[in-house]
Amino acid sequence: MANVKTVRLILGDQLDERHFWFQKPDDSVLVVLMEVRQETDYVKHHLQKVAAFFAAMRAFARRLSEKGHRVLYLKIDDPENRQRFAENLAKIMKESRAQRFEYLAPDEYRLDRELRQIAEGLAVPARMHDTAHFYTGRDDLAKMAAGKKRFLMESFYRKMRKAHHVLMEGNTPAGGKWNYDAENRGAYDGKTPIPKPLLFDNRVSDVLEAIDASGAATFGRIEGDRLIWPVSRRQSLSLLSDFTKKRLPHFGTYQDAMVDGRWSLFHSRLSFSLNTKMLHPKEVIDAALDTWHSQKAEIGIEQVEGFVRQVLGWREYMRGIYWQLMPELARMNFFGHTARLPDYYWTGQTNMACMADAIGQSLDRAYAHHIQRLMVTGNFALLAGVDPDEVDRWYLGVYIDAVEWVEKPNTRAMSQWADGGIVATKPYVSSARYIDRMSDYCGGCRYDKNDRSGDRACPFNSLYWDFFARHRDKLSKNPRIGMMVRTWDRMKPAEKEKTLARAAGLKRDLDGL
C-alpha cells in the first residue's frame, strides 16, 4: 500500500461509477469496499439480497480496477476481514499510512452516525462527500414542511415537478392535470400481453460459497447459482430500456393490479439498480419521458405520469420523511400493536391465496410489487395487530431493494400507520373486497371472500371489522375513514358479536390460517 495519501470508502449501496470520485484514476487514492458481517447480520436477509449486493460490489470493484483505480476489496470470507467497518478501517488506515479519510454520505441513519464517529476518532482529517444521487437534499423536505401541520406527498410532488421542469408546460402540468392516479387503478383485463420479465444469468457460485463459509444466516431461495437481478450499470441500463420499450405503455393502468403467478407484471424492477445507485433517478425519469415524447400516440400521459410520480414523488418524499423522523420513526407504534409475525411470512405456507402468492414470490424472487407489499402482506399485518418492529424486520430482510431509508417510511409509516398519519391520511386497510377487485386471487382461495363471520370467512374481512372495533377511539374522527367506524356501529349486535368472535379465533391461531 505504498504512497497512499487518501483512503476512500464506498458502501454497498454507493455503486455509482459516474460519481466525480471516479472521473480519473489517482494513484494516491485507495478505494475501499468491504463485505462485512455487520451488514449481513443487523436483520436476517434474503439470500438473493445478500448475493446481489455482494455481486454488484464485486463487479463495481472490478470495473474501477479496469479503469486504473487502486482498489482494496475485502470479501466476507477473507481471513483478514474483521467484519466491522470500524475495525477494518482502523487497520487499513494504519497499514496504508494514509493522511486523509473520505467517505460518501450514507443514506442510512445507523451508518451515518457510525461513520461520523469513526471519522472523528481518526488521527487524520476526514471528509464526507455528497453521493450526488438524489434530486433533494436530506433535509429539504423538513424545510418545506416547516410550520405546516401536514406536508403530504402530493404537495411535495408538485413542487418537484415545477422545480425540475418535469412533465410541465410552462407553469402548468402537462395534459392539464398534476395527477392521473384515478386512471392508475385498473384491474388486469386478462388480454393485454404481459411481457416476459428480463432476467439476468449472473452465475454467483463464488459469492454463495463465500456467504456460506462466513456463517451469515439468510432465508429465501435462489435458483441454483443463478442471480436474476442486475449487478452492473450495463445490466441496469438494459433493464431500463426493457421497461421503457415493453412495460411503460401499460405501467400506469396496471400499477395496482395483481395476477396470481405473474410476479412483476408491468413494473420496472429498477429499485435495486436505483437504490445501489447503479442508475440515477434522473436518467430513469428522462428515459421514460423520452420514450413517451417519441410515442405519444401509443403511450398515454397517465402511464408516464404514474411512473414519474413514483420516482420523483414517492421515492424522494420517503427519503425526506426518513431523515425528518429518524430516529423516532424506528420506535413509532401508534396502535400499540404487539402480535408476532405469523410463521407463513417466512415459509409462504398459508391457505390465504393472496398471501401465499405475495409471500411465495417474495421468497422465490426477493420481490413483490407495491400493492402486494401494501395491500396484501402489509394490510394483513396491520389488521392482525402485528408489532411494527417485526413487520419492519421482515420487509428490511426480504426484498432485493430493501435499504432502510426507503423501507422504513414505507413499512412503518405508510403500511402500518405507526406514525399516526404523518405520511398517509388514513391507514391502508381493506377487506377482501379490494383484493378481489384488484386481483384474481379470491376465486381460487379456500376462504370465502363474501363472508366475515362464518368458519370459512375470509380472514381479511373478520380482522378488518375487528380493527375498527378495537381502534374506534383512534379512527372515528378521521375524515377519510371514520365512516367505517360508523358503519360498524350500525351493524346488528348479533352480527358484530359473530364477527368479533371469528376475529378473536383467528388471532388466537394466526399461524394456522
Ligand X SMILES: Cc1cc2nc3c(=O)[nH]c(=O)nc-3n(C[C@H](O)[C@H](O)[C@H](O)COP(=O)(O)OP(=O)(O)OC[C@H]3O[C@@H](n4cnc5c(N)ncnc54)[C@H](O)[C@@H]3O)c2cc1C
Q: Which is nearer to ligand SF4, 257 or 353 (CB)?
A: 353
Neighbours of 319 (CB within 10 A): 22
What string marks each residue from 371 to 410 as x (binds ligand X by CB under 6 A) or -?
A: --xx---x----------------x---x-xx---xx--x
Minimum Å gap between C-beta 358 and ligand X is 11
Contact predicate 94/82, CB 8 Å = no
Task: Let me know how long the chain is.
Answer: 513
**Grid coordinates belonging to 373:** 407489499
Interface with ligand SF4, residue 435, by CB under 6 A? yes
Please work out the total of residues on this chain that contact ligand X, with binding judged by CB under 6 A.
27
Q: Which is nearer to ligand SF4, 31 or 353 (CB)?
A: 353
Interface with ligand X, residue 188, by CB under 6 A? no
Q: Which residue has the cell 479496469?
A: 66
Interface with ligand SF4, residue 402, by CB under 6 A? no
Q: Which is nearer to ligand X, 22 or 334 (CB)?
A: 334
Contact predicate 506/513, CB 8 Å = yes
Residue 401 near which of ligand X, ligand SF4, none (CB within 5-8 Å, type-dependent): ligand X
Residue 174 near which of ligand X, ligand SF4, none (CB within 5-8 Å, type-dependent): none
Contact predicate 64/17, CB 8 Å = yes
**Grid coordinates belonging to 348:** 409462504
Q: Which is nearer to ligand SF4, 344 or 441 (CB)?
A: 441
Contact predicate 358/379, CB 8 Å = no
Minimum Å gap between C-beta 338 and ligand X is 19
Contact predicate 319/138, CB 8 Å = yes
Q: Which of 11, 279, 458, 510 binds ligand SF4 (CB under 6 A)?
A: 458
Residue 452 near which of ligand SF4, ligand X, none (CB within 5-8 Å, type-dependent): none
Interface with ligand X, residue 468, by CB under 6 A? no
Residue 370 near which of ligand X, ligand SF4, none (CB within 5-8 Å, type-dependent): ligand X
Q: Are strands 100-104 and 6-9 parallel, antiparallel or unpaired?
A: parallel
Contact predicate 267/251, CB 8 Å = yes
412-441 binders of ligand X (CB under 6 A): 414-415
Peptide bond into 106 cis (omega under 30): no
Question: Could you give the CA distance from residue 413 to residue 426 in angstroms, rounded to a whole number?
Answer: 11
Query: Nearest Cα to 361, choosing from 42, 43, 40, 46?
Result: 46
Residue 411 near which of ligand SF4, ligand X, none (CB within 5-8 Å, type-dependent): ligand X
Q: Which is nearer to ligand X, 267 or 449 (CB)?
A: 267
Bridge partners of 70? 30
The single-letter DSSP state of residue 457 is B
Minimum Å gap between C-beta 461 and ligand SF4 is 7
Minimum Å gap between C-beta 505 and ligand X is 27
Minimum Å gap between C-beta 432 and ligand X is 19
Q: Which is nearer to ligand SF4, 13 or 436 (CB)?
A: 436
Q: Which is nearer to ligand X, 361 or 453 (CB)?
A: 361
Question: Could you give the CA distance from residue 368 to residue 360 in angstroms, rounded to a whole number?
Answer: 9
281-310 binders of ligand X (CB under 6 A): 310
298-357 binders of ligand SF4 (CB under 6 A): 352-354
Interface with ligand SF4, residue 465, by CB under 6 A? no
What string marks each residue from 199 to 228 as x (binds ligand SF4 by CB under 6 A) or -?
A: ------------------------------
Contact predicate 398/366, CB 8 Å = yes
Question: Could you give the CA distance from residue 136 to residue 268 in angstroms, rounded to a whole number?
Answer: 22
Contacts of 360 (CB under 8 A, 6+ apart): 348
What string marks each residue from 189 to 228 as x (binds ligand X by CB under 6 A) or -?
A: ----------------------------------------
Interface with ligand X, residue 268, by CB under 6 A? yes
Minimum Å gap between C-beta 369 and ligand SF4 is 16
Dump the DSSP string for 98-166. -SEEEEEPPSSHHHHHHHHHHHHHSSS-EEEE-----SS-TTHHHHHHTT-S---HHHHHHHHHHHTT-
Minimum Å gap between C-beta 506 and ligand X is 22
Q: What is the 3-state secondary structure (H, E, C) of 224-284?
A: CCEECCCCCHHHHHHHHHHHHHHHHHHHCCCCCCCECCECCCCCCCCHHHHHCCCCCHHHH
Q: What is the 3-state secondary structure (H, E, C) of 417-468?
A: CCCCCCCCCCCCCCCHHHHHHHCCCHHHCCCECCCCCCCCECHHHHHHHHHH
Neighbours of 29 (CB within 10 A): 19
Residue 442 near which of ligand SF4, ligand X, none (CB within 5-8 Å, type-dependent): ligand SF4
Interface with ligand X, residue 499, by CB under 6 A? no
Q: Which of 275, 276, 350, 362 binds ligand X (CB under 6 A)?
A: 275
Q: Which is nearer to ligand X, 21 or 272 (CB)?
A: 272
Neighbours of 455 (CB within 10 A): 9
Please work out the total of residues on this chain that contact ligand SF4, with binding judged by CB under 6 A.
14
Interface with ligand X, residue 369, by CB under 6 A? yes
Question: Could you give the CA distance from residue 290 to residue 285 in angstroms, rounded to a whole number?
Answer: 9
Residue 303 near which of ligand X, ligand SF4, none (CB within 5-8 Å, type-dependent): none
Write out the residues near ligand SF4 by the rule CB under 6 A: 352-354, 432, 435-436, 441-442, 445, 447, 449, 458-460
